[in-house]
């Protein structure tokens, strides 16, 4: 199975964490990341895991989404609602195939939001695509573990049916990409391009633009070289 990291962001109920671990183990996935869980470890999580204790014991607990996706070369976010700045959308089956393909270049992450509130706009900004499970719109709310089970099942099907698109180059890690974004924001602030009234909105749009491009490490270095040249221009050659 590919290195797909199931990332639960601010999970509120330890029982749901255990049920998600069980769903993962059913489908052969074992990398669970918990972002600021309200209660973990907990006996209820172990009880609901029903034999997937090893996944709970190996779960990585981090403070925020940037830490959870730092090593990932590609991130998908699950959400049933629209967001301020739209992302490319895929259904569960297409997203599973995409994740498996990207996992050929390194770890990939699949974000699930808190039970009551889902993912914030800022958390979705770390994703390349938005995953939406095609449910009845009259009752669109899915239990967290059910959503994890559906995506894990589709990932397993994508692996075993071979329906995985090929990759031609490895994209950069989220850590390298975020360093580039920091460099970009500093540069466009220094040259007065960033809109002082809506600085975050412009940066979010630029973030989405560059995420869609899936730059590799070499391309990021080229872009950062251009930014450095803007910051420190050389005099024209005679």
Domains of the chain: 4-161 (3.40.1280.10), 174-231 (1.10.8.590)
pLDDT, mean of residues 189-196: 83
Q: What's the pLDDT band for 238 if we cut at 50, 70, 90?
A: low
Distance, CA of 193 to CA of 70 (rounded, Å): 28
Report the pLDDT value the prediction gives residue 85, as an integer from 0 to 100.
64
pLDDT, mean of residues 186-201: 81
Alpha helices in 125-173 (DSSP H): 144-161
Burial environment of residue 64 by CB neighbours within 10 A (0 to 12, 13 to 18, 19 or more): middle
For residue 157, which phi and psi values (nearest 5 degrees)?
-65, -40
Structure pTM? 0.80
Report the pLDDT value the prediction gives residue 107, as an integer from 0 to 100.
94
Q: Would you say residue 234 has pLDDT above 90?
A: no
Q: Would you say residue 162 has pLDDT above 90?
A: no
For residue 47, which phi and psi values (nearest 5 degrees)?
-65, -45
Between CA 124 and CA 28, with CA 106 as vertex, the angle to 5 degrees is 85
Token pair 């633009």: residue: 209
CA atoms within 13 A on the CB side of 21: 28
């Amino acid at each position: 199975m590919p290195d797909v990291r199931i990332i639960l962001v601010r999970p509120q109920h330890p029982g749901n964490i255990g049920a998600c671990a069980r769903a993962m183990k059913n489908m052969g996935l074992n990398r669970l990341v918990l972002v600021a869980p309200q209660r973990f470890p907990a006996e209820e999580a172990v009880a609901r895991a029903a034999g997937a204790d090893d996944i709970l014991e190996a779960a990585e607990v981090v403070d925020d989404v940037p830490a959870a996706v730092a090593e990932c070369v590609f991130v998908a976010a699950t959400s049933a609602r629209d967001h301020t700045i739209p992302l490319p959308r895929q259904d569960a089956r297409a997203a599973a195939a995409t994740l498996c393909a990207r996992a050929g270049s390194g770890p990939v992450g699949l974000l699930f939001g808190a039970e009551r509130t889902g993912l914030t706009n800022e958390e979705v900004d770390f994703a390349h695509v938005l995953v939406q499970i095609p449910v009845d719109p009259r009752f669109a709310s899915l239990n967290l573990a059910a959503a994890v089970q559906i995506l894990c099942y589709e990932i397993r099907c994508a692996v075993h049916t071979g329906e995985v698109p090929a990759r031609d180059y490895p994209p950069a890690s989220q850590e390298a990409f975020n360093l580039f974004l920091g460099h970009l924001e500093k540069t466009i602030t220094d040259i007065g391009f960033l809109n002082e009234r809506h600085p975050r909105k412009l940066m979010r749009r630029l973030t989405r633009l560059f995420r869609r491009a899936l730059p590799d490490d070499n391309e990021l270095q080229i872009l950062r070289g251009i930014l450095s040249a803007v910051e420190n221009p050389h005099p024209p050659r005679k």
